[in-house]
Structure 1
Amino acid sequence: MFDFINHHYIEVIPYLVDGLKYTLIITFVGVFLGFLVGAGAGLARLSKNKFIYMLATIYVEVVRGTPILAQILLLYMGISDLFGINLDKVVASIIAIALNAGAYIAEIVRGSVQSIDKGQSEAGRSLGLSKTQTMRYIIWPQAIKRMIPPLGNQFIISLKDTSLFSVIAVTEILYMGRQYISSTFTYFETYVMICIFYLIITIPSMIILRKIERRLDV
């Protein structure tokens, strides 16, 4: 009986490997785009222009205040229903991760920049640098170091969030595991292996993150 149960731990692996590809693509591309969006929104949240500040604040608060599952359903099904656009499910997932991660990264960027001593900015201006040059050459390099730990955490959160995209049939790890379950009814073994696959990604990511933190002395 044990041998019969145990072989499913091995047989489910090819299914999960197939799903791993889309999990990683959605996570890496989504978080990269999310960083670009978040950097822009975070700096906009520091702007003295009230309109720019308001737009960035609305984006951050709306996205942070709604669940990512609702966001992906709105993107994939809501937009299709409203505008008749057949958005690819993987593209929709990447956009959802980018927008969701971007809202949280915006606060990471804002907080990191604000944490730099104001004397640094004043020193840059006294050297004849413009506000943009001061941000680029003095403030931003220091802020980036402080962003690394929370950005690493956001990467792991976004990675785990991809499991929610099985609701629109994105063939990521959880979806492929459920496909195996539908034909074998081996719930325990399959979900154990799904958790192991996520740990295989997240644990090395955390180790690499800690090494980067120590090297940069964050």
Structure 2
Amino acid sequence: MSARPRHSTTDDFPWWLVALVIIGLVLAVVIAVNDIYAQVFNIVIKGIGMTVFVTLVAFVLASLWGLAIAVLGMADNIMLRQGARFYIETVRGIPILVVLFYIAFVGAPVIVSLFNWMITPLVQAGWVDAMQVRDFSLTWRAILALTICYAAFIAEIFRAGIEAVDQGQVEAAKALGLNRVQRFRLVVFPQAIRTIFPPLSNDFVSMVKDSSLVSVLGVMDITQLGKVYAAGSFRFFETYSIVAYIYLILTLGLSLVLRRVEKSLRRSPRG
């Protein structure tokens, strides 16, 4: 069998990144010198705070919930395992947009009714007022929907990473007298994170893009501000070019940072 040819340093150079940087610089110049593009940019950029907020909160909650689902999926109890698998397969089979609408317009009233039922004694005593559906903001409904959807995918990432850990080390930890929580915290998770981090970082970048779906609920993120401006000015080309430009900067910058973190994890000594 012939040896696999080695790529030269020139072949490995990220020319794609150079091309994207050049395009980005050109668009930055256009924004600086063109009043229309500058106006669109100044309006749309106001939604970046909401986009970052929704992404960060939803991803943290989805990671915690996904880890819990993954642990339940590996439990000794068959009911817990089957329940976790049911959740994962069901949620992964439904489009995120459908879940978003369902949580916003079906789940939210149910959650509010359940909450009011739980605080009925406090309401009757006059200590608090009953919660109204309108008090459950659309932003948090969107965050809840993204959390539910992404947790199903993240649970599979955690499961694969945990199962990839050498069982011999787990048995050695048992022999040392470590309980299940200690084994997971000190032995399993530090090694599993090397397997988990790359796909988990990909999901984080994907959530930045999927956070644009919250615009269908009127949440004032980057996409929603672009939609409102385009509908009023009919500057669709300029508006959505700027929207795409901002998302590209966010996702590309985030991908490069996460790639550096991934390399540092690979170089770190194994526990």
- TM-score of the aligned structures, taking structure 1 as reference length: 0.93
Residue 113 of structure 2 is aligned to residue 113 of structure 1? no
How far does residue 131 in structure 1 lie from its aligned partner after superposition? 2.8
Specify the alignment match of 1:85 in structure 2: 133
2-side partners of 1:161 and 1:103: how far apart? 15
Specify the alignment match of 2:89 in structure 1: 61
Show CA shifts across 1:85-130 (max 9, x none).
Answer: 3331100111111111111110000000001111111111122222
How far does residue 175 in structure 1 lie from its aligned partner after superposition? 0.8
How far does residue 81 in structure 1 lie from its aligned partner after superposition? 5.6
2-side partners of 1:209 and 1:107: how far apart? 20
Specify the alignment match of 2:255 in structure 1: 206
Show CA shifts across 1:18-76 (max 9, x none).
Answer: 21111110000000011100110011111121111122112111111101101110111
Specify the alignment match of 1:138 in structure 2: 187
1-side partners of 2:191 and 2:109: how far apart? 45
The answer on whether the counterparts of 2:48 and 2:221 sit within 8 Å (CA) in structure 1 is: yes
Specify the alignment match of 2:220 in structure 1: 171
> 1:97-108, aligned counterparts within 5 Å?
97-108=146-157
* Paired residue total: 216
Specify the alignment match of 1:75 in structure 2: 103
Aligned mate of 1:192, from 237, 241, 244 = 241
Aligned mate of 1:40, from 68, 83, 90 = 68
2-side partners of 1:104 and 1:154: how far apart? 8
Specify the alignment match of 1:153 in structure 2: 202
2-side partners of 1:117 and 1:76: how far apart? 43
- Segments of 5+ residues of structure 1 without an aligned counterpart are none
> 1:16-35, aligned counterparts within 5 Å?
16-35=44-63
Q: Which has the higher contact order (CA 8 A, sep 6+)?
A: 1
The answer on whether the counterparts of 2:108 and 2:141 sit within 8 Å (CA) in structure 1 is: no
How far does residue 10 in structure 1 lie from its aligned partner after superposition? 0.9
- Segments of 5+ residues of structure 2 without an aligned counterpart are 1-29, 114-131
1-side partners of 2:248 and 2:107: how far apart? 34
RMSD: 2.0
2-side partners of 1:8 and 1:47: how far apart? 58
Compared with structure 1, are the counterparts of its residues 204 and 121 closer, same or farther at alpha carbon in structure 2 (3 Å cutoff)?
A: same
Worse overlay, 81-90 or 105-114: 81-90
2-side partners of 1:15 and 1:64: how far apart? 35
1-side partners of 2:239 and 2:57: how far apart? 27
Runs of 4+ off more than 3 Å: 80-84
Specify the alignment match of 1:10 in structure 2: 38
Percent of pairs identical after alignment? 33
SS at match of 1:129: coil
The answer on whether the counterparts of 1:79 and 1:85 sit within 8 Å (CA) in structure 2 is: no
Show CA shifts across 1:131-187 (max 9, x none).
Answer: 332122101111122211111111111111111111111111111001111121111
How far does residue 80 in structure 1 lie from its aligned partner after superposition? 4.6
